[in-house]
Amino acid sequence: MSVNQSIKPITTEEKANLTIGGCDLVDLAKRYGTPLYVIDEATVRGICRDYKEAFKDYSNIKMMYASKALCTSAITRILDEEGFGFDTVSAGEIYTVFKSGVDMSKVLFNGNNKTASEIELALNCGVGRFSVDNFYEAELLNRIAGEKGKKADILLRITPGIECHTHDYIQTGQIDSKFGFDLSQIDEIVSLIQDKYTNLNLRGLHAHIGSQIFEPQCYYDEVEILVREMARIKEKFGINLDEINIGGGLGVKYTDSDNPPSVTILAEAVTKALDKYSVEPHTIYLEPGRSIISTAGVTLYTVGSSKVVPNGRKYVAVDGGMADNPRPSMYQAEYTAQVANKLQAKNLEKVTLAGRYCESGDILINEIELPKLEAGDIICVFNTGAYNYSMASNYNRVEKPAMVLVNNSLSDIIVYRETLDNLIEHDNIPDRLKKQ
C-alpha cells in the first residue's frame, strides 16, 4: 500500500492520546493552540519515495511537486531534499521556492493568466520552464523575454479532451476548460512560435487532466494523446519535441469509501503507454501535489458549544471551520476525524461537526460517530495537508492557524499563527477619516 491509500499519517499511534510523529496531539494543541495544522515529515518523505520507487526504471521521468497543494519554505526544503522539482502557479510560489534555495532550472511556471510582473520575476529567478497557456501569454512572454535578452524554454499546455470522474471544479483536462490550448489551436500557436515568437524555445507539451483522480486509465489515454500530437507536430513542422508533462492529480483516501489507486498502479499505466509509443529518451514530467502532502497533514480543533435541534440532529462546534478548510463548502468534501483525548471511550453518538464562522454552510463533517463530546476536547481531522492552508482565508477577520512539523517526537513551527496586529497591518485610514 502506498501512502496516498492511507487516511492517517504513517506514524499515527493510539497511546494515552493520539500521537503523530511521536508527538502527543493533545500536548501539541496545548503548546501551540488550535486550530493547528500538523504535518508529519515521515509521511511526506514516504510518499516521495513511493513515487521514486514506482518509477525507478524510468530515469527520464522527473518529479515536480505541485506547489499549490501546500507551499511553505519548510515544505519546499523537504521536497527539494527528496529530489523533486516544483510546479508553480504564482509569483508567491516562485519566490518561496527561490528563497528556499531551490535549483530554479527544476521549476515550471504554470497558470492561465500570468501577469507581466510574474513573468519578469520568473525570468529574473531563472525558472527552467514556462507552461504557455494561451495566445496572449505567448505574445507577452516573447516580448518580455526579448526585452531581457533571454530565450524562454516553454511547453504548450493543451486540453486533451479527457474527463475524469471527479468534481466539476477540479476537472482541467476536458475540452470546455479555462486552461490550455484546444487541440484545434495547436497548429496556429506552433506556427507563431516558429515564425514570429523567436524568443520562445518550444520543448514539448503539457496537459493536466484533473485532481483527486481514481482512474489510472486516464493517464494512459493522456500519454497516448500527447505522444501522438508530438509526432504530428514533428511531421508537419519539423520540430522534434523532447518533453511531455502529464500533470498530477492522483487521488487520496479521505474516508473509508475512497479507493484511490496506488502510486505503483499509476506508474504502471504511465509506463505502459510510454513503452507502447516508444517515447524515450524524451523527458517526462509528473506533477503530484495532493498525493504528496494531503495524508501527511491533520488539523487539530478544540470543541466549544453544542446544540440539539428539534429533529434530533446534534451540532458540535469547533474553533475553526471554513476559513481554515473551505473544501467541504466548495466541493462537498468529506473527512474522517477522531477525538484525540478520548481513544478508549465507548459512549458514541452521532454529531455534525460545525465551524465557528457566520455561514450556515460552515460544516466540517456531517453526522459522524464520535465519543460524547465536551468543551475542551481535541478533534483531529485527517488528510488536511492539501488545499487547506493554501486556500485558507481571514473570513470574519479571524487569524489563520499556525502550522507545525513533527518528526521523531520533535515539533517545530513552520508557519506562525497570525496575530490581531497581522490582520490590520496592511490596513490604512485616509487622513480625511482620521480622528482629529
CB 273 within 8 A of CB 286: no
Give catalytic status of residue 358 as yes or no.
yes
Q: Helix 263-277 to helix 217-237 angle, to the nearest 10 degrees?
A: 30
Neighbours of 249 (CB within 10 A): 28
127-159 burial: b if 16+ Cβ within 10 Å, else e: bbbbbbbbeebbebbbebbeeeeeebbbbbbbb
Indicate which residue of 23, 71, 218, 358 is catalytic: 358
Retrieve residue 294's grid coordinates. 494531503
Strand partners, 306: 316
Residues 269, 333: Cα–Cα separation, whole Å: 27
What are the backbone dihedrals phi and psi of residue 343, each rounded to the nearest 5 degrees, phi first? -70, -30
Cβ pair 207, 175 in contact under 8 A: no
- Closest by CA to 37, choosing from 383, 364, 398, is 383
Q: Which residues pair with 248 in a beta bridge?
A: none
| Rounded distance between C-alpha atoms, residue 374 and residue 27, angstroms | 18
E-strand ranges in 242-292 read 243-245, 283-286
d(CA 229, CA 221): 12
119 three-class SS = helix
Cβ of 175: how many Cβ atoms within 10 Å? 12
- Would you call 396 helix, strand, or coil by DSSP? helix
Helix or strand run (H / E) with residue 275: helix 263-277
CA distances from 331 to 30, 279, 367, 391 (A): 31, 37, 17, 13
Report helix, strand and coil shares of the chain as percent, to nearest 5.
Answer: 35, 25, 40
Return the axis-axis angle of helices 73-81 and 41-54, rounded to nearest 10°: 40
Catalytic residues: 358
